[in-house]
Amino acid sequence: MAAEETLRQAQKMEAVGQLTGGIAHDFNNMLQGVAGGLEMARRRIAEGRAGEAGRYLDAARGAVDRAAGLTRRLLAFARRQRLDPKPVDADALVAGMADLIRRAVGPGIGLELRLRDGTGSVVCDANELESALLNLCINARDAMPGGGRLLVGTEEVRLSAADIPDGEAPPGCYVAVSVSDTGTGMPPEVMERVFEPFFTTKPQGQGTGLGLSQVYGFVKQSGGLVRIESAPGRGTTVRLLLPLHERMGAAEA
Ligand code: ADP
Ligand code: MG
């Protein structure tokens, strides 16, 4: 029993080490963004060009917001914070994220949005859905180091009992938010473990293994399901299926 306890402790320390290693790197980048912006603003002011300082202060402010967002997500993860579910228009949320996604993935990756007109609203925490979407897009980026195509789409789907063999959610209408990439794909032994907190195949400092565990936790708490299709060399599609709340517009599926 003592040996088991020691092992458990070691596993926990390993997890904590991976966590702090990965996050510290992200956090450092954000702090550098803050420091860089403040330094540039200080120089402009010293040169008597205070009017040009504003955009550097804005950049610093943006980095502060990103750092705060990261700690908020971490706390939500650690504490399983209660979400604040409200009706969210999935198409509008995805469209509103396009610019941020484009920035996050960089110019080597082409982003295409395929939003079905009339996709309904879902009830969930909008911030968490945004985080989930961003996590999926960043994973897609990491899977396409040489560039590629990223498709983010929404559609309404009807799931029958046969589509949900293990009964993890009730049959009915769902809004699917999907992220597809033309990247490396995953072998089955990776697919099996992707939702585990701290599971990552990325080098230390690049992966935290918290992305898909956030996605999974969020979707579960919102009464939905996650489906992944992937094969080595054939890209990956992750679909978040969230219960349809209300149909929008005129389209009827
Ligand atoms: P992280 O991105 O920090 O490694 P995630 O939980 O987001 O953690 O992902 C866990 C692992 O799942 C990744 O390390 C990677 O091996 C695999 N993975 C996730 N998304 C993709 C994808 N789109 N293409 C290929 N592999 C992926
Ligand atoms: Mg990730």
* pLDDT tens string 167-215: 889 999 999 999 999 999 999 999 999 998 889 999 877 787 888 888 8
CA angle 187, 188, 191 (to 5 degrees): 95
> Which residues' Cβ are closer than 6 Å to ligand 1?
135, 139-140, 143, 181, 183-186, 190, 194, 199-202, 207-213, 236
Which ligand lies nearest to the CA atom of residue 232 in the structure? 1
CA of 55 to the centre of ligand 1 (A): 34
Model pTM above 0.75:
no
Q: Which pLDDT band holds residue 221 (cuts at 50, 70, 90)? A: confident
Nearest CA to ligand 1 atom 18: 139
**pLDDT tens column, 59-73:** 999 999 988 887 776
The model's pLDDT over 67-116, given as tens digits with 9 standing for 90+, comes to 888 777 666 655 555 668 899 999 999 998 888 788 778 889 999 999 98
SS3 state at 123: strand
pLDDT of residue 205: 72
For residue 105, the CA-to-ligand 2 centroid distance in Å is 12
Q: For the chain, where are the E strands, in sequence order?
A: 86-89, 109-115, 121-124, 148-159, 172-181, 225-230, 236-246
For atom 21 of ligand 1, the residue with the nearest CA is 139
Rg (CA), the chain: 20
Going from the Cα of 101 to the center of ligand 1, the distance in angstroms, rounded, reads: 17
